[in-house]
């Protein structure tokens, strides 16, 4: 978020692109993607039959492809796309193509600073990953899920390391899946493996593993906790440490465990755990009574529960408050520290805290229009399209990236004028 | 015929061995070679310990009056000339009741017969419950026996392989993530020849509908994808498919009572739905 300090925070609005014109100009205009700072907007377009390219704030890239997909902006506003032409796939950063080409690429993944750009790759018949144009030396029968280390120097993916004949149930039961880091597989193999995540120092990887019929565990660098457990959900690392926290299911219920030891009480279910920015608090989605969802902070559930769903908790920057998207009786809202907004919506996006942690905003959908909701109060104006708002570093203004009457605007609006 | 079948049954150890045409299946025949009474006892009691606290599990055992009204509900019973060994309650008697009576101390051969009964002679269709004056849930009970068999790996090969695939890949047929996305892309290109500007939007946030096919569709029946694309486009539905695992709605884990894989499959679909903010999930079938 620190890069937002360099953005233009003068209040006012700027018409960045007339999307109506784009619609007239191209056979097909695909999903719009704005840059983080809102200054640019891009989309995959079809300027001539069966030929695709990118349109960046009105400028159409001359190079044409048979496919262009997974459009994404880096924080520095460079535009990444995955392309296919003349039977090869390649990654393009702005108009520069990676030299390496592939038989397929997917799972475009960036580090937070955008310096690490990774994809899963296929080189018939083998699969693996590539980071900043560098391809793994070893490729495998399958490679799924992709994690990039926080420092942007490593990739990890779940791989099938041994071949298996059709319907060979017994080879699978010997364990033919593991994680490969930069192409080097862990020594230990498992029945199934998913949810790989790097440690904050980029030196370790944790993942969920299946070790037998109804047997699950967490593996860190290939070594499992003392287990097995009835089921596990995706692990996370504690900030600035190598401690791993994951939900484990035991005969008593589901709890959170750190390095294999239970640290919370037991629930019907628990998942989507997250540490506060200072690393001192832990929040997760929990099911304290049958079919009732809520958030627990350090093991204590909110007293308010919800019938349909609760999404991942979000901490305030001062680590003191927690908000989450909640769904009750088919209507969506945000709950902050256990108190749900009274206004309900057809859809709500993840809540965002102001830099001083006092205000919570979220994008919400009602009757096909999109609104900004500030501490439960709905903005006067609704938009055709709206992306997640961003707080100015002083917390006084909000950056809106929105489409109104077919035109894409970058707006900076004082929070009390919404 | 019914009488003959019972007469043909031979007692082995202390249980009735059914005289049926053998079903050759490595999931039974090979797995049983590695089973021991101890392993079976452990698996059976692991399930019984959970089950005995549940009314749904215990009520049929305690309430059934053996009236056999449920028999006429069962297509296995009817299509085998009313052979009583296919009657719903007989299937419970030959499996769960025996396992409870013997506290799980049974031979691998007995367990193989149990597996055959619960996997190959009952579809868990629940029709018998509709005929039972008490609405006793026999399918639930036979499902719990399937769970015991699953913990032992004593499961028909084909469905076990598909569940293994779902566990490893969240797809029914070992489909790589790249092949799934590629298939959606080339299907779109195929259909574009017939319908101008047809789209199969992948990972479109905020779409009204997320379509979750069965793994068989991208693997062996791509024309289903083309047809779905045509219907969605002509009907003007704002739709998408998810790029990440959790798009395959085949849930074989449910049938063999691999509850964990079953839950992971369902969660995968809901995770995609919530990530993409779609309003409705549409499944094949
Ligand atoms: S649930 Fe099983 S026993 Fe009952 S009617 Fe269906 S197939 Fe027959
Ligand atoms: S109909 Fe109900 S009570 Fe009668 S035998 Fe069947 S399960 Fe038992």
Mutate which of B90, B132, B138, B139 for ligand 2 pocket (most atoms within 8 A of beta carbon)? B132
Residues of chain B in contact with residue A214, where contact means CB-CB under 8 angstroms, are 150-151, 258-260
Q: How many CB atoms lie within 10 A of CB A206?
A: 26
Q: Are residues B194 and B256 in the same domain?
A: yes
Q: Which domain holds residue A156?
A: 102-249
In a domain, B20, yes or no: no
Q: Are residues B186 and B259 in the same domain?
A: yes
Statement: residue A15 has pLDDT above 50: yes
Q: How far apart are CA B69 and CA B47, in angstroms?
A: 28
Res B1: pLDDT: 35
Q: Does A28 touch chain B (CB under 8 A)?
A: yes
Query: Band of the pLDDT at B197, cuts 50, 70, 90?
Result: confident
Q: Are residues B125 and B173 in the same domain?
A: no
Residues of chain B in contact with residue A28, where contact means CB-CB under 8 angstroms, are 197, 199
Query: Band of the pLDDT at B54, cuts 50, 70, 90?
Result: confident
ipTM over 0.95: yes
- Considering only CB atoms, which residues of chain B are within 8 Å of chain A? 26-27, 30, 150-153, 157-158, 160-161, 164, 167-169, 174, 176-179, 181-182, 185, 189, 192, 197, 199, 201-202, 204-206, 243, 245, 258-260, 263, 270, 274, 277, 279
Q: Does A278 touch chain B (CB under 8 A)?
A: no
Residues enclosing ligand 2, CB less than 6 A?
B 64-70, 88-89, 132, 134, 136, 138
Among all ligands shown, which has an atom nearest to the Cα of B95?
1
Write the CATH number for A216. Answer: 2.130.10.10
Q: Are residues B168 and B265 in the same domain?
A: yes
Give the list of residues 6+ apart from residue B225 with CB closer than 8 angstroms, or none.
B183, B184, B187, B200, B213, B217, B218
Residues of chain B in contact with residue A211, where contact means CB-CB under 8 angstroms, are none
Q: How far apart are CA A382 and CA A371, in angstroms?
A: 5
Q: Are residues B148 and B178 in the same domain?
A: no
Structural domain total, chain B: 2
Q: How far apart are CA B186 and CA B223, in angstroms?
A: 11
Cβ–Cβ gap A142/B169 under 8 Å = yes
Q: Are residues B112 and B227 in the same domain?
A: no
> What confidence tens digit (pLDDT) does each residue in B109-152 have?
999 999 999 999 999 999 999 999 999 999 999 999 999 999 99
Q: Which of B159, B177, B181 best tests the A interface by mutation, with the highest count of A CBs <10 A?
A: B177
Cβ pairs bridging A and B (under 8 Å)? 95
Q: Atom 8 in ligand 2: which residue has the minimum CA distance? A: B64
Q: Are residues B119 and B35 in the same domain?
A: yes
Tell me the nearest-neighbour CA distance from B183 into chain A, angstroms.
11
Structural domain total, chain A: 1
> What confidence tens digit (pLDDT) does each residue in B72-114 have?
999 999 999 999 999 999 999 999 999 999 999 999 999 999 9
Residues enclosing ligand 1, CB less than 6 A?
B 73-74, 76, 88, 91, 122-128, 138-139
Res B10: pLDDT: 54
Q: Are residues B131 and B219 in the same domain?
A: no
Tell me the nearest-neighbour CA distance from A232 into chain B, angstroms.
9
Res B7: pLDDT: 40
Q: Does A159 touch chain B (CB under 8 A)?
A: no
The last residue of a domain, from among B155, B188, B210: B155
Q: Which of B161, B164, B202, B257 best tests the A interface by mutation, with the highest count of A CBs <10 A?
A: B164
Statement: residue A393 has pLDDT above 50: yes
> What confidence tens digit (pLDDT) does each residue in A135-155 have?
999 999 999 999 999 999 999
Res B11: pLDDT: 57
Q: Atom 2 in ligand 1: which residue has the minimum CA distance? A: B122
Q: How far apart are CA B147 and CA B95, in angstroms?
A: 12
Where is average pLDDT lowest: A91-100, A222-231, A268-277, A306-315?
A91-100
Among all ligands shown, which has an atom nearest to the Cα of B88?
1
Handedness of CA B82, B86, B92, B96 (dihedral sign): positive
Res B4: pLDDT: 36
The last residue of a domain, from among B119, B137, B155: B155
Determine contact, residues A202/A151, Cβ cutoff 8 Å. yes
Mean pLDDT of A358-375: 98
Q: Are residues B98 and B217 in the same domain?
A: no
The nearest alpha carbon in chain B to A122 belongs to B178
Mean pLDDT of A382-387: 98
Cβ–Cβ gap A31/B189 under 8 Å = no
H or E segment at B187? Answer: helix B177-192
Q: Atom 3 in ligand 2: which residue has the minimum CA distance? A: B64
In a domain, A184, yes or no: yes
In a domain, A387, yes or no: no
Res B3: pLDDT: 38
In a domain, B147, yes or no: yes
In a domain, A23, yes or no: no
Cβ–Cβ gap A104/B274 under 8 Å = no
Q: How far apart are CA A59 and CA A39, in angstroms?
A: 14
Q: Are residues B70 and B110 in the same domain?
A: yes
* Å from CA of B157 to ligand 1 middle: 22
Residues of chain A in contact with residue B182, where contact means CB-CB under 8 angstroms, are 104
Q: Are residues B138 and B184 in the same domain?
A: no
Q: Are residues B149 and B30 in the same domain?
A: yes
Q: Atom 1 in ligand 2: which residue has the minimum CA distance? A: B132
Where is average pLDDT lowest: A71-75, A170-174, B53-57?
B53-57
b/e map of A71-108 (b: 16 or more CB within 10 Å)?
A: bbbbbebbbbbbbbbeeebbbbbeeebbebbbbbbbbb
Q: Tell me the C-alpha to C-alpha distance, in Å, between residue A363 and each of A11, A19, A318.
A: 20, 21, 22
In a domain, B4, yes or no: no
Asked if omega into B64 is within 30° of 0 (cis), the reply is: no
Mean pLDDT of B159-185: 98
pTM: 0.95
- Provide the 3-class DSSP secondary structure of residue A315: strand
In a domain, A91, yes or no: no
In a domain, A136, yes or no: yes
In a domain, A256, yes or no: no
Q: Atom 4 in ligand 2: which residue has the minimum CA distance? A: B67
Q: How many CB atoms lie within 10 A of CB B34?
A: 12
* Residues within 8 A of B (CB atoms), A 347-386 only: 347, 349, 365
Res B230: pLDDT: 96
In a domain, A174, yes or no: yes
Cβ–Cβ gap B177/A106 under 8 Å = yes
The last residue of a domain, from among B134, B155, B176: B155
Q: Which domain holds residue B48?
A: 26-155
Helix axes B259-276, B157-169, angle to 10 degrees: 40
Q: How far apart are the first and last CA of chain A?
A: 22
In a domain, A164, yes or no: yes
Statement: residue A416 has pLDDT above 90: yes
User: CB-CB: which of A169, A230, A365 is closest to B27?
Assistant: A169
Cβ–Cβ gap A142/B176 under 8 Å = yes
Q: Does A309 touch chain B (CB under 8 A)?
A: yes
Q: How far apart are CA A390 and CA A4, in angstroms?
A: 9
User: CB-CB: which of A127, A173, A216 is closest to B178?
Assistant: A127
Res A123: pLDDT: 97
Residues of chain B in contact with residue A193, where contact means CB-CB under 8 angstroms, are 168
């Amino acid at each position: 978020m620190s890069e937002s300090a360099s953005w233009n925070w003068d209040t006012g609005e700027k018409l960045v692109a007339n999307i109506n014109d784009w619609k007239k100009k191209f056979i097909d205009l695909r999903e719009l993607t704005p840059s983080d700072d809102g200054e640019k907007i891009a989309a995959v377009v079809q300027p001539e039959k069966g030929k695709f390219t990118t349109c960046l704030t009105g400028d159409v890239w001359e190079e044409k492809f048979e496919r262009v997909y997974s459009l994404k902006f880096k924080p520095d506003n460079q535009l990444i796309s995955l392309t296919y032409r003349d039977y090869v796939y390649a990654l393009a950063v702005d108009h520069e193509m990676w030299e390496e080409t592939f038989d397929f690429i997917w799972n475009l993944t960036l580090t937070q600073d955008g310096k690490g750009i990774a994809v899963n790759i296929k080189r018939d018949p083998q699969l693996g990953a590539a980071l900043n144009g560098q391809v793994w030396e070893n490729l495998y029968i399958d490679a799924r899920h992709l994690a990039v280390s926080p420092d942007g120097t490593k990739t990890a993916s779940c791989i099938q390391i041994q071949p298996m004949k059709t319907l060979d149930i017994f080879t699978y039961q010997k364990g033919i899946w593991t994680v490969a880091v930069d192409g080097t597989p862990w020594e230990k193999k498992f029945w199934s493996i998913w949810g790989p995540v790097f440690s904050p120092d980029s030196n370790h990887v944790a993942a969920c593993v299946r070790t037998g019929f109804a047997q699950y565990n967490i593996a860190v660098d290939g070594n499992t906790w003392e287990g097995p457990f009835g089921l596990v959900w995706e692990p996370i690392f504690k900030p600035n440490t190598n401690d791993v926290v994951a939900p484990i299911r035991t005969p008593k219920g589901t709890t959170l465990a750190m390095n294999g030891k239970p640290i919370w009480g037991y629930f019907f279910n628990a998942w989507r755990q997250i540490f506060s920015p200072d690393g001192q608090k832990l929040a997760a989605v929990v099911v304290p009574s049958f079919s009732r969802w809520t958030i627990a902070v350090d093991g204590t559930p909110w007293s308010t529960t919800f019938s349909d769903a609760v999404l991942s908790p979000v901490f305030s920057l001062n680590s003191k408050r927690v908000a989450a998207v909640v769904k009750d009786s088919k209507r969506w809202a945000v709950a902050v520290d256990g108190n749900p907004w009274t206004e309900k919506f057809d859809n709500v996006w993840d809540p965002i805290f102001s830099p001083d942690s006092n205000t919570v905003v979220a994008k919400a959908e009602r009757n096909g229009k999109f609104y900004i909701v500030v501490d439960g109060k709905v903005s006067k104006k609704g938009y055709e399209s709206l992306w997640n708002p961003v707080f100015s570093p002083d917390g006084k203004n909000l950056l809106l990236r929105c489409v109104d009457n077919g035109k894409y605007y970058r707006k900076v609006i004082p929070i009390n004028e919404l | 015929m019914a009488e003959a079948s019972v007469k043909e049954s031979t007692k082995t150890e202390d249980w009735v061995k059914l005289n049926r045409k053998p079903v050759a299946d490595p999931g039974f025949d090979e797995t049983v070679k590695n089973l021991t009474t101890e392993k079976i006892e452990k698996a059976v009691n692991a399930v019984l310990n959970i089950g005995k606290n549940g009314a749904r599990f215990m009520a049929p055992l305690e309430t059934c009056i053996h009236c056999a009204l449920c028999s006429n509900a069962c297509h296995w019973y009817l299509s085998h000339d009313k052979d009583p060994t296919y009657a719903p309650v007989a299937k419970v008697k030959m499996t769960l009741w025996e396992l409870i009576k013997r506290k799980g101390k049974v031979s691998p051969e007995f367990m193989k017969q149990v597996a055959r009964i619960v996997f190959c002679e009952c579809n868990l269709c629940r029709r018998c419950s509709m005929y039972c004056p008490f609405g006793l849930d026999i399918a639930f009970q036979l499902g719990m026996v399937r769970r015991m068999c699953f913990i032992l790996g004593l499961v028909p090969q084909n469905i076990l392989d598909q569940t293994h695939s779902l566990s490893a890949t969240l797809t029914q047929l070992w489909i790589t993530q790249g092949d799934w996305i590629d298939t959606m892309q080339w299907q779109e290109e195929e259909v574009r020849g017939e319908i101008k500007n047809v789209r199969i939007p992948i990972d479109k946030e905020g779409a009204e509908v997320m379509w979750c096919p069965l793994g068989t569709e991208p693997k062996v029946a791509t024309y289903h994808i083309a047809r779905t694309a045509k219907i969605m486009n002509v009907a003007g539905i704002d739709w998408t498919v998810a790029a990440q695992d959790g798009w395959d709605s085949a849930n074989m884990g449910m049938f063999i009572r691999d509850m964990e894989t079953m839950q992971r499959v369902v969660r995968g679909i809901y995770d995609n739905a919530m990530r993409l903010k779609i309003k409705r999930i549409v499944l094949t079938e």
